[in-house]
Structure 1
Amino acid sequence: MGARGPKPKPTTLRVLEGNPGRLPINHAEPQPTGEASCPDHLSDDAKTKWREIMESVPPGMITVADAGLLEAYCEAWATHKAASEEIAASRDLFGKTLLRNGKPSPLLKIRTEAAKTMATLATRLGLSPADRSGLKLGTPKAKGKWSDLIA
């Protein structure tokens, strides 16, 4: 029998959220390091999305350990974009131009599958609006006259 309940959130996400459940922090959790860099093998659209994401997330949120998931997300986004552009070029979503031999165009399925992949990976990477809504980024506290004594 597998583990029950939702998967635990990574400690870094719990800390960013302010640890709302007040669960003990796992200080022994492995912490990946190293900034992820955009791989050369990505398509041009995927590279553009990679750069947009990396510029918009806090430093250290996506590391080298997350690079594979981000690569897959960006390629799924590029596939979704290409399928959407082809559908838009047909100018008739429900008309004959998207029907082939009386069946819907494969572009509709390709776009749907890419959207599902994006939704799944966005949640794992903390990119979805629902995941971001719980995050609270720390703000620097004002220095007091005793702040230098506390480490």
Structure 2
Amino acid sequence: MTMGKRGPAPKPTQLRVLHGERPYRINSNEPQPAPGLPAPPAELDEAGRRIWDFVVTELDAMGLAQRPDIHQLHPYVEEVRLHTQVSVLVSKAGPLIKDRDNELRTNPAVRIQRGRTDHARVRKGVRAHSGRAGVTGDTEGRRGLRVTPAQLGRARARSEPPHERA
């Protein structure tokens, strides 16, 4: 039997600093991602590359794009690209097509489109992709809240617990 997570998600270090958390409770050794934007995967086609560039530009404008996000962004871009292609097919051919017997039937692209827009699936996918992209509450520290080196330095300087200070 598995159990769920207990309690609220921990507050990001940058928010702890900004909110004036006790200095000894701030993790001064938290790993930081390498600077720079995520590079598009080589296997993206031209349409995927346009979507990638748009998404990364928007995330960067919000201060959310980071290099480790490549593995979350790639499946998201592929989903958007596929949904766009299928939507174009449905708009050209229509939701119904004639089969070999000249009978009307549902366009197979409609099934793919519905599968891509199934609300439960979309919510799950968006939650999976947005969690790492800094859109959920547990990653608020990445939402443009920048801790200056001076703020972090002051917090690190006071990071000893009170009972260990000389």
Q: TM-score, normalised by structure 2?
A: 0.56
Partner of 1:4: 5
Distance 1:43-1:4 versus aligned 2 partners, 3 A rule: same
Partner of 2:159: none
Partner of 1:124: 131
Higher relative contact order (CA 8 A, sep 6+): 2
Larger Cα Rg: Structure 1 or Structure 2?
A: 2
Partner of 1:56: 58
1:46, CA displacement in angstroms?
Answer: 1.2
1:70, CA displacement in angstroms?
Answer: 0.4
For structure 2, the 5+ residue unaligned runs are 155-166
1:40 has 2:47 as partner: no
Aligned residue pair count: 133
Distance 1:42-1:77 versus aligned 2 partners, 3 A rule: same
Percent sequence identity is 15
Deviations 1:71-98 (A, max 9, x none): 111011100000000011123x3xx328
For structure 1, the 5+ residue unaligned runs are 141-146
Name the structure with the higher helix share. Answer: 2
- In structure 2, how many angstroms separate the alpha carbons of the residues matched to 1:102 and 1:125? 44
1:53, CA displacement in angstroms?
Answer: 1.3
Given the alignment, which residue of 72, 75, 79 partners 1:72? 75
